Amino acid sequence: MSTELFNLKGKIALVTGSTHGLGMAMAEGLGKAGATIIVNGNSSQLKIDDAVAYYEREGVTAVGYKFNVADEQQVIDAVTKIQSEQGPIDILVNNAGIIKRTPLEEMEVADFKEVIDIDLVSPFIMSKQVVKSMIARKQGKIINICSMMSELGRNTVGAYAAAKGGLKMLTQNMATEWAKHNIQVNGIGPGYFATSQTAPIRVDGHPFNEFILNRTPAAKWGDPNDLAGAAIFLSSKASDFVNGHILYVDGGILATIGKSVNEK
């Protein structure tokens, strides 16, 4: 019975931004738990096709759809098409996002708005469309990918932190409004993970690598696969009474003020 709590067989999971990185790791985990994965990206059809081929090699059933999550009409059209061709969406993971590293006093307003649109407005657009059939069926799971920047500030990521802080509160408000329909809305807040994007700074002697290793109680970067369990839990029956929660998968960073200068 305990294993069945995490079984996603027969479920359809739409994971935005699932052609690479952390989104791909979470989608793969959901797929290996039994879900059919709807792969989304917006850069190129080739990248989506390559991602689908990867999932299939890993034994995951996957279908790709190219659309811009920040464009409401594209989202309406895509969700309609997906549910017509594949069936109702049971699980939505709002993972797509961007970051622009610029000091606030130097940041262009257009760049600030772009980050807000993709990281905060698009989860609203996606959820608004997908939740309609969830409400009609009286069941559904929505996971918003937040960040430690939902809780903390850091130099040069003001727009990202503003969006992710907003996403935390949007998650709680979605849960407040939709829990009565047996829909669970939660978030995952990843810490610092070993991905292709962080590879250049994860080398011995690099100041940021040393900072992360010292700042994280687990004393290591996260493996993208470490997110799979959290995604499966929040997508499964095991979390049916969990709502409005942000699950931080960060090796303990948010649990501590950090080490003193001389502390080993």
Q: Which residues are catalytic?
A: 160
Q: Cα–Cα distance between 129 and 191 in angstroms, integer?
A: 29
Q: Cα–Cα distance between 111 and 122 in angstroms, integer?
A: 16
Q: How many CB atoms lie within 10 A of CB 236?
A: 22
Q: Cα–Cα distance between 159 and 162 in angstroms, integer?
A: 5
**Quick check: 63 and 39 in contact, CB under 8 A?**
yes
3-class SS string, 45-109:
HHHHHHHHHHHHHCCCCEEEEECCCCCHHHHHHHHHHHHHHCCCCCEEEECCCCCCCCCHHHCCH
CA-to-CA separations, 78 to 36, 45, 69, 126, in angstroms, rounded: 17, 14, 9, 10
- The two three-digit tokens of residue 249, written as one number: 């998968």
Question: Helix 158-178 to helix 109-116 angle, to the nearest 10 degrees?
Answer: 30
Q: What is the phi/psi pair of residue 193, to 5°?
A: -120, 150
Give the residue ranges of DSSP H helices in the chain: 21-32, 45-57, 72-85, 109-116, 122-137, 158-178, 207-215, 228-235
Beta bridge partners of 247: 188
